[in-house]
Copies of this chain bind each other. A is one copy, B any other.
Amino acid sequence: MTARSFDRKNHEARPLEIIPDFTANADGSVLVSTGNTKVICTAFLEEKVPGFLKNKNQGWVTAEYGMLPGATHSRSNREAAKGRQQGRTVEIQRLIGRSLRACVNCEDLGERTITVDCDVIQADGGTRTAAITGGCLALYLCLWKHRKKYFVPPVVGRVVAVSLGIKDGEVLVDLDYAEDSSVDVDLNLVMTQDGRFVEIQGTAENKPFTRAEMDRVLAMGGDALDLTQKAQRQALLDYGVDESWIP
């Protein structure tokens, strides 16, 4: 078996780094790094809701995802210049949006929309899972900034995410780009702070996986994410978010 980046064991995720307030203008802003993958996550709260929620006394959380053309080893096309988002982009931002909606009680939010933007500035695998872990933080910082608007925090959970792979029967946690390109099965897990699942997306173009492999994936992913959610919680506390605002 080849050595893993950051000298990791199979069950270990890459080092997680969180820099809050990475940019100055958004309501919430975080640079999240998992190893060499770096994603800027920003969040804005706006006093409006999309058309399908007009006059329903509830809010909305949505997400958009992008990758700078310079983030990858060879330049990737600028989607704005091409005039359309790729299928992969659309799929990822829908995943992030669904995951973040699991954090918020939309009735408590009020008729407001929170938009979380996740823009990858350096890509080395796992950009969508880093975007979820970081996007949840940007969402919380955004709500915390607007805390005067709320009697009760309009939150019901926090989410963290990680990718896993199966290669020759072995489960690997938190794939970097080289691993991601070589595994038989690629799986993304989104979990809440209390160990429940929000999203499971596993795909096996090359080699379908067994129930037993799935069980190992869920167990190892759950353990890794438990560490991630603790780091996420600590980052919020360090920032000064009140404990009552952190599920």
Contact = CB atoms under 8 A, between A and B. Distances in A.
A44 B115 contact: no
A5 interface: no
A157 B204 CA distance: 12
Contacts of A102: 204-206, 208
A121 B122 CA distance: 13
Contacts of A218: 211, 214
Query: Number of copies of this chain in the oligomer?
Result: 6
A82 B79 CA distance: 10
Nearest to A217: B200
User: Considering residues A66, A89, A203, which has the most beta carbons from chain B within 10 angstroms of its beta carbon?
Assistant: A203
Interface string A194-212: 0111111111111011110
Given A98-B203, A199-B203, A204-B198, A25 B66 contact: no
Those 7 A-B pairs whose CB atoms lie nearest each other, nearest first:
A42-B70, A196-B208, A79-B80, A44-B75, A26-B70, A200-B202, A80-B80
